[in-house]
Amino acid sequence: MSTRCSIASTGWCSPAEKTCTLAHRAPPQAGRTSAPRRGGYELALARGARERGLPVLAICRGLQVSNIAFGGSLIVDIPTTADHRPVRGADQQLAARHPITLAEGSRLAALYGTRNRVVNTIHHQSIDVTAPGLHPVAWAPDGIVEAVEADDDWPFWAVQWHPEKMIAPDEAAEEMPLFAAFVSAARERAAEHPAAEKGTR
C-alpha cells in the first residue's frame, strides 16, 4: 500500500515470487523464482520514500528491499537453525514462532514496552550487511537480524516478521502499537502536507 503521505511495504510473495533477488546482492537460487520488474519498482519506491521523508512500515520482503535499496546486502538462504527452518507448507509456516530481543533504547522497544517478544517467521532470507543509515534493533537467538531502524528521525519501521499475520487475539493486541505508530506518523505527514493528499503536489 502506498500513498503520497506514507508507504507500507510487505512481502507475502505469491508462488511465482518466492525469493528476493535484487540486483547482484542476492543472486537467484535453483528452484526459486523472482520478479525483476517488481524488484526494480520496489527499490525506487524505497529510495523515493527516504528522499521525501515519507513514513514507511516495511514488513519481511519490505525490510529486505529497503536494506538493498540503501546499500546493504542479504543472506540469500538462512542456514537451518532451531529458530529458522526451511520454508514449509502454509499452515506450518504461519504457525512457526521464535523469540527476539529488541535493542535497549530502540523505537520498537519503546513501542512494544518490552525488549523480549515472540514473533512469527515466514522468510528464508535476511539482512547480512546493514545499509548505511540503518542499524539493527532486533535479533533472533541465532543472530539473524529481525528489525532495523533509521539512524536519524525518519519515521521508518522495518521488521522481518509479519505482524499483520499474527491474528490470535493476544498476538494481534501486542502488534497494535506498531500499526498505531505508523498510522499516526502518516496522519501527521498528511496534516503537514495537505496538498499531497489531494494529489496536487
19-63: pLDDT as tens digits:
444 443 444 444 444 556 777 888 999 999 999 999 999 999 999
Cα–Cα distance for residue pair 6/47, rounded to 1 Å: 13
Residue 192 falls in the annotated catalytic set = no
Catalytic residue among 98, 123, 124, 162: 162
| pLDDT classification of 7: cutoffs 50, 70, 90 | low
What angle do the packed helices 61-69 and 36-52 form, to 10 degrees? 70
188 is catalytic: no
164, 171, 188, 197: the active-site residue? 164
For the ranges 2-6, 72-76, 189-193, the lowest mean pLDDT is seen at 2-6
Whether 164 is catalytic is yes
pLDDT per residue as tens digits for the range 80-132: 777 777 776 777 778 889 999 999 999 999 999 999 999 998 888 899 999 99
pLDDT at residue 182, as a whole number: 95
Torsion of CA 176, 4, 40, 136, to 10 degrees: -40
Per the confidence metrics, is the pTM higher than 0.85?
no
- The reported pLDDT for the residue numbered 21 is 44
Which of 5, 13, 20, 60 does the annotation list as catalytic? 60
Grid cell, residue 196, equals 499531497
Residue 54's SS3 state is coil
